[in-house]
Structure 1
Amino acid sequence: MTTTNAPTTNAPTTNAPTTELALDTLRGTVRGDVVVRGDPSYEEARRVYNALHDRHPAVVVRAVDAGDVIAGVLFARDNGLPLAVRGGSHAVAGYGTVDDGLVVDLSRMRSVRVDPVTRTARADGGCTWGDFDHATHAFGLATTGGVVSTTGIAGLTLGGGMGNLARRYGLSCDNLVQADVVTAEGALLTCDAERHPDLFWALRGGGGNFGVVTSLVYRLHPVSDILGGAVFYPLDAEVARRWRDMNADAPEELNTILVIALGPEMPFLPERWHGRPICGLMTCFSGPATEDEKMLGLLDELGPVVGRFVERMPYPVINTLFDEQLPPGLYHYWKGSFSRDLSDGAIDVHMRYGETMPSMESDTAIFPIDGACHRVGPEDTAFAYRDASFSAAFGTSHTDPADNEANIAWTRAYDRDLRPHTEEAGYINFMDTDDQSRVRTNYRQNYDRLRTVKRRYDPGNLFRLNHNIAP
């Protein structure tokens, strides 16, 4: 199965020759590693999380600081090479790699510095949410982050950032207070509400269109232990409807993500449910322990519980529970949608495709994006769909490339059947390479403003391997 890169609008479509002399010059300006074909570490350096994107870059710059990032960006620009930027490497669309181009890999830039007085944390652009949660938890603090600990902080935040604290504290991008960005000109800019505010606005939901984010500063909140885990029910539309109704009235401290999948082989789920279609709730209650029993009662009312693992745990643990089921090297193809309400028609579509879920690794996850997410205006950040209450991620993840064609066709059919029941757009972090035609719709009223910012900071569209906003 072949995949396509993002369009190369307003950018060179051929690569200038990368000579050994030029590479030697690059090596002389980079403190990290410059990896090219034939090097012992090339195979490892070229791989990304999603094995569907099996590409062969000409050069991988494994940066250790912002100076290395600047060197990589300028080398790609000056040599006419397509430029990919890689943080945690989780981009489902494979934008962290590129054939015959240059990859700036930030995965060695992973320090986090917490200021418990101001309740902020500065983190390097290559950090994962596991890195971040570990550092902030030592101070009893947290912010909204990814639900898989190996996800990169930068990519998730630039796209918006849904997670287990979103109803209470907003999206990841709502908690971003500052960022350092390497632009197409090789400048390192610090942007926040006062410095380069247009760029700061665009970063909060506008994706990787504007530069390489080398560090991010987040607002933190007092979260230490939470009531968390998973509850499983039979696959039943009534469970989903009851969850929808419960979510509308639940306290914002209770964040639950509805999952439709095949029953995982876990000790708290009876063997007879392994591999059978189920509904599950990923649960995170960040309120007081005295309310735990009440929250468990709400979950028990949704339907017959066939398996449950929910207990008090350190907040970082909730974001690791399914890491082992989603290791690097699987083949992923996803779609996404926004909806103002989870209609009965949408639930029926989700149930129908839940019955034919093609692999143990595949699932549908429906995230609530209400509560604090709705207290940010639709034009306050680039994340445009503040009137949506749910965001669905659905598609296939599997181990055998021979299944690619069938599983991609299944996901596309699912997307087609769901669209009459959802908004026209979806969350960019759930979109694949063939969703470029939806970019304008995904940004809605903010698209023209984003294009203006793009024109200012990247008029040549060097940063085009993303859900691209062409200048």
Structure 2
Amino acid sequence: MTHPMNNSHEEHLPHGEERDEDAIFTTLECDEIITANHKDKYHTNRLCWNRAINAFPRVITYCKTVEHVRKCIAFAREHALPIRIRSGAHSYEGFSTGDEVMIIDVSRMKSIELDMQKLEARIGAGVQNIEIFTALKDKGLIAVGGACPTVGVCGFVMGGGWSFSSRYFGLGCDSVIEFEIVDYEGNLLTVNSESHPELFWACRGAGAGNFGICVSMKLKVYNTFDRATLITLNYPNCCEKKIVSKIKAWQNFFKTCDLRFNGKINIYNCSKDGIGFNFLIVFYGGADEAHSLLQPLLNDCCPEYEPSITAVKYPDSSIDLSMQESSVYNTLKTICDIHPDYESFKSTGGFMSRDLETEEIQNLIEIVKRKATGCTYTAFSIYGLEGNIRKVPHDSTAFPYRQAQQMIGLQTQWEDEQYAKENKEWLVDTIFKHILPITDGFFTNFPLIELKDYRKQYYGREEWRQEKLSKVKYQYDPLRIFSHSQGV
């Protein structure tokens, strides 16, 4: 396996070279400062979770306090350094880094304060999904967080935030009560429905990296459930006819199923299992009830066998069905543990307001069959939506796709860097030819750098939305201090 992490000094010119003028950073006060002069440490700390991103920042500054953030903003402005904001380093397109930029990294802001009476949690900007799940487990509480353990909760929420609990609790941004944000002048703003309400609107769906640096936020937490059931099914080497019927069954099930269900289904092609489909579903409740409520889907997806509540191996040893009940925390951690420490990939996703038709599903299968050279895994994924996502008023946040029925994503992964270019081009070509025509818009948490009309794709085509975002941007960041390749 090869990754773009060669530490040779010559390999990185003109980016990432050692510089005598790095002495200017000795006047900057923060928790830690890393430049190319730190050699191996620099090359470790510059990396993103997506190893396909290979940027060489001028300096990486780690902040633990609001004052650190203020001083970094002032320093960057004084020295004309472009700012990028980083917490979990999970931006698919590397919007939290860049060549010759100052990364203001808030991943060390780890505070978590619980108010058990109000069922609220104030968390620092560096708290990751698995950390909030862990902090709440002994209290019998849960928060709306994503599936990947090391994703920063702030970035997840500010982009909207899809999760396995979204059909019941809404999107991640729907749980936010308040943000604390440092603006371009170093002011600490308390942002909620009464204080800076327009900024509060924008930060719930369009906020990541656009208007200021979030240093903390207050979230609703929930004591609604103490048990959850994880349902997984894998059907490798599956024929086209069966995949089509199972995708249709999935779409029908999620139109009317209990709101405690959510999940995603994949049409995949991988080196190990060939072309097949699998799904991952979470049910907030016990396995007996999940088994009963799932019967319509299981009857359609698995007519060959009557599953029990425990793990099942089908008679032909090809289909695996598992239904495991545990605590909510253990269920979420099991999902988190699926994710590797890092990957090299290209991925994006868009919203649909209708079912995929038979011909469209067949087309997706054909596309997956023709994966890019060097690809180790590719998949179309369908994510469950609707439910209580739709109950939040359409105009109450910057997230525009509350009426969408489902989200469809595409990813391609590779291990050898020599295949990166071909895999990226394959995905972009597929998206523009086959996904853009059938989707309403794209998810800002799953960005695609090649989108030319990205503002309309991410934030909706209504003129009032675009005008409101522009107004908020001008009011709170008139000098465009906070920006990236697809900034507001």
**Per the alignment, in what secondary structure is the counterpart of residue 56 of structure 1?**
coil
8 Å CA contact 2:132–2:143 kept in 1: the answer is no
**How many Å apart are 1:158 and its aligned residue?**
0.8
Partner of 1:39: 38
5 Å-filtered alignment, 1:13-412, equals 19-20=21-22, 22-26=24-28, 29-30=29-30, 32-40=31-39, 41-208=41-208, 209-221=210-222, 222-233=224-235, 234=238, 236-262=243-269, 274-304=272-302, 306-321=319-334, 323=336, 326-344=339-357, 345-357=359-371, 359-412=375-428
Q: What TM-score results when the alignment is normalised by the length of structure 2?
A: 0.85
- What displacement does 1:65 show? 1.7
Contact 1:193 1:200 in 2 (8 A): yes
Deviation at 1:19, TM superposition (A): 4.5
Encode CA deviations 1:415-436: one digit per residue, 9 max, x unaligned: 1233365234210111122225
Distance verdict in 2 for CA 1:190–1:373, change over 3 Å: same
The change in CA–CA distance for 1:391 and 1:465 in structure 2 (over 3 A counts) is same
> 2:286 touches 2:325 (CA, 8 Å); kept in 1?
no
Q: 5+ residue gaps in structure 1?
A: 3-16, 265-273
Q: Which amino acid aligns with 1:378?
A: H
SS for the counterpart of 2:38 is: coil
Deviations 1:174-207 (A, max 9, x none): 1111111111111111111111111111100013
Please report how far the alpha carbon of residue 313 of structure 1 lies from its aligned counterpart in structure 2 after TM superposition: 2.1
Q: Deviations over 1:317-371 (max 9, x none)?
A: 4444455664344222112211101221442332222334454443332212200
SS in 1 for 2:350: strand
Q: Is the 8 A contact 2:287 2:324 kept in 1?
A: no
| Bigger shift: residues 369-378 or 66-75 | 66-75
Summarize the Cα distance change of 1:250–1:360 in structure 2 as closer, same or farther, 3 Å threshold: farther
> For residues 288 and 99 of structure 1, do their structure 2 counterparts lie closer, same or farther at Cα, with a shift above 3 Å needed?
same
Letter matched to residue 38 of structure 1: N
Contact in 2 for aligned 1:159/1:205 (Cα 8 Å): yes
Which of the residues 429, 444, 461 maps onto 1:428? Answer: 444
Compared CA separation, residues 408 and 322, structure 1 to 2 (3 A) = farther
Secondary structure, aligned partner of 1:279: strand
Work out the CA distance in 2 between the residues paired with 1:97 and 1:397: 21
Q: Distance in 1 between matches of 2:207 and 2:36?
A: 29
What residue identity is the alignment partner of 1:363?
A
Q: Deviations over 1:284-335 (max 9, x none)?
A: 0013555122134244223237112221123234444455664344222112
Q: Secondary structure at the match of 2:154?
A: helix
User: Which one-letter code corresponds to 1:438 in the other structure?
Assistant: Y
Q: Distance in 2 between matches of 1:47 and 1:105?
A: 12
Tell which deviates more after alignment, 229-238 or 200-209. Answer: 229-238
CA contact (8 A) 1:259 1:280 kept: yes
Distance 1:101 1:197 in 2: 31
User: Kindly, what percent of the aligned residue pairs are identical?
Assistant: 23
Cα distance per residue 1:210-238 (max 9 Å; x no partner)? 11111111111223320114212336111
Q: 1:369 to 1:195 in 2, by over 3 A?
A: same
TM-aligned CA distance change 1:335 to 1:292, over 3 Å: closer
Residues 164-173 or 220-229, more deviating: 220-229
Provide the aligned length of Structure 1 versus Structure 2: 443
Q: What are the superposed Cα offsets for residues 394-453 of structure 1, whole Å, 9 maximum, x if unpaired?
A: 121222111112211221232123336523421011112222532223212222101100
Residue by residue over 1:246-271, the C-alpha shift from the partner in whole angstroms, topping out at 9 and shown as x without a partner, is: 1001010111211222469xxxxxxx
Residue range with higher mean Cα deviation, 96-105 or 435-444:
435-444
Q: Which moved more, 1:310-319 or 1:416-425?
A: 416-425
Look up the equivalent residue of 2:219 and give its one-letter code.
Answer: Y
Give the AA of the match of 2:352.
Answer: S
> Which residue identity is paired with 1:309?
S
Counterparts of 1:23 and 1:240, CA distance in 2: 55
Q: Distance in 2 between matches of 1:197 and 1:174?
A: 15
In the superposition, relative to structure 1, how do residues 47 and 34 fare at CA in structure 2: closer, same or farther (>3 Å)? same
SS at match of 2:301: coil
**Pair 1:289–1:331, CA change in 2 (3 A):** closer
Q: Which amino acid aligns with 2:349?
A: G
TM-fit CA distance, 1:463: 1.1
Q: Which has the larger radius of gyration?
A: 2
Could you say what secondary structure the match of 1:94 adopts? coil
One-letter amino acid of the structure 1 residue matched with residue 459 of structure 2 = Y
Distance 1:166 1:323 in 2: 16
1:189–1:350 Cα change, 3 Å: same
Amino acid at match of 1:240: I
1:453 — aligned with what? 472
